[in-house]
Amino acid sequence: MHDLDTVQSILENKGGLLAVDKPSGVSSHTLVNWARKVFGIRKVGHTGTLDPLASGLLLLLVGRKYTKQQPKYLKQDKKYLVTAQLGITTDTYDAMGRRVSEKFWTEIEDITEKAISTALNSFQGESEQTVPAFSAVKRKGKKMYDLALSGELSTADLPKRTITILDITLISVSKDSSAQEFFVTFSVSCGSGTYVRSLVHDVGQLLGCGAIVKELRRTRIGSTQITDATVCPVLPKQYIIHKK
């Protein structure tokens, strides 16, 4: 584990490394701004963005001494707890996006746990992943999510990158025939640069039914665990993003 700091020690030393348990519905940038106000320090960064829908471990780098070390922290592998919903696709690959397609219950209810486990395991190791359209990666000098929102982004514009899945483990499968909902929960440890939303989308494509991220929680960055996070800031309601 890294030598983590407390709010008090960062105030005293004018810098430090702070582990935050980010709540769902809040952007990573919001927590950066929160830290700037709390510590009165402009130079604040983090060690890897969490989508607004996601919760969990976010390491805040407070002060120039720590933000200069950001590249080192960004390279560290990460672990997530993921709940995916089968039978649905959206433009963002998660529950916050515009629905693109939906399967009938009869088309997905017979998908077996073995088939799901096989699909997940097929991504173990190195593979090529397409960066999702709704991401902060830049194309044509603009962030891709801005291009996607304005309709300026085509599938051909989406870059690909090599990712590494270190471990992927199926935890549970939950079918609700009355609500006609199918959920899969799994854990994944992956190298830097991996988009879990794209991973879930690709698993859904492999199963032939589509899939989106319903819930996502980051539980580890390098050797720092979510249990090391000592701060969960209480934010004003205006900072909370509406969740579907």
Whether the Cβ atoms of residue 47 and residue 61 lie closer than 8 Å to each other = yes
What b/e readout covers 61-85, taking b as 16+ CB neighbours within 10 angstroms? bbbeebbeeeeebeebbbbbbbbbb
Tokens linked to 239: 């900072």
Query: Given 5, 21, 51, 94, which residue is catalytic?
Result: 51
Q: Which of 23, 10, 24 is nearest to 60 (CA)?
A: 10
Q: What is the C-alpha to C-alpha distance for residues 188 and 217, in angstroms, rounded to an integer?
A: 11
| Whether residue 157 lies in the annotated active site | no
According to DSSP, the β-strands at 55-62 and 211-221 are parallel
- Active site amino acids: 51
